[in-house]
Amino acid sequence: MFDDNTIDAPPEWREIDARSRALGFDMPSEPKTGAMLRLLAASKPEGRLLELGTGTGLATAWLLAGMGQGAQLVSVDSDPTVQAVARDVLGEDPGVTFIIADGLDYVRAQAPGMLDLIFADAMPGKYEGLEETLALLKPGGLYVVDDMVPQPNWPEGHQSRVDALTVRLKSHPDLATVALDWASGLVIAARRS
């Protein structure tokens, strides 16, 4: 029970989870990651949040569950088929805006220092355009990535990318970083002022 974060999962998460399974979506964010995202979103009550990689909206539901009324989340994905699940279930929530675009194109179109939290759950913002993505954070802003411990769906040679990303984040002079053996493996970094 202590470790079961599905007990208090957002109601929308259960519907999205069922639809994700029916679609055969094999890249879901798990409940432990979601519980952490909800907590981190709650720490930014009027924050501006960015999710790179909506997928079907599993993590999106958790982020929305943690957000205060004044907070805003933009969730970007390049696949309209999977994002359609999130739009259908969560699209009426005034706290979220869904965008179909390449994540890196979206990042490059934003002003630096405007975001309080970034959840990078796609190649763009995580393995591509990392510095551009980090530049969007305000001082005290949080950067979160998951899937940092070996996963069954990793392509061959992916471990070296994960290792390089972890080293870059831990050694970045503008970040305080922690790597957690939690869920699928999380790295959370805060931008120093």
pTM check: above 0.85: yes
Q: Flag whether 120 is in a domain.
A: yes
CATH of the domain at 142: 3.40.50.150
Q: Flag whether 135 is in a domain.
A: yes
Q: Flag whether 47 is in a domain.
A: yes
Give every CB contact of residue 174 below 8 A, 6+ residues apart in sequence. 134, 191, 192
pLDDT at 131: 97
What average pLDDT is seen over the chain? Answer: 93
Range of the domain at 120: 11-191
Give every CB contact of residue 55 below 8 A, 6+ residues apart in sequence. 20, 25, 27, 28, 29, 77, 82, 83, 86, 121
Q: Flag whether 179 is in a domain.
A: yes
Q: What is the pLDDT of residues 146-174, one digit of tens each?
A: 999 998 878 898 999 999 999 999 999 99
Q: Flag whether 3 is in a domain.
A: no
- Total domain count, the chain: 1
pLDDT at 29: 79
Q: What is the pLDDT of residues 16-51, one digit of tens each?
A: 999 998 988 877 778 899 999 999 999 999 999 999
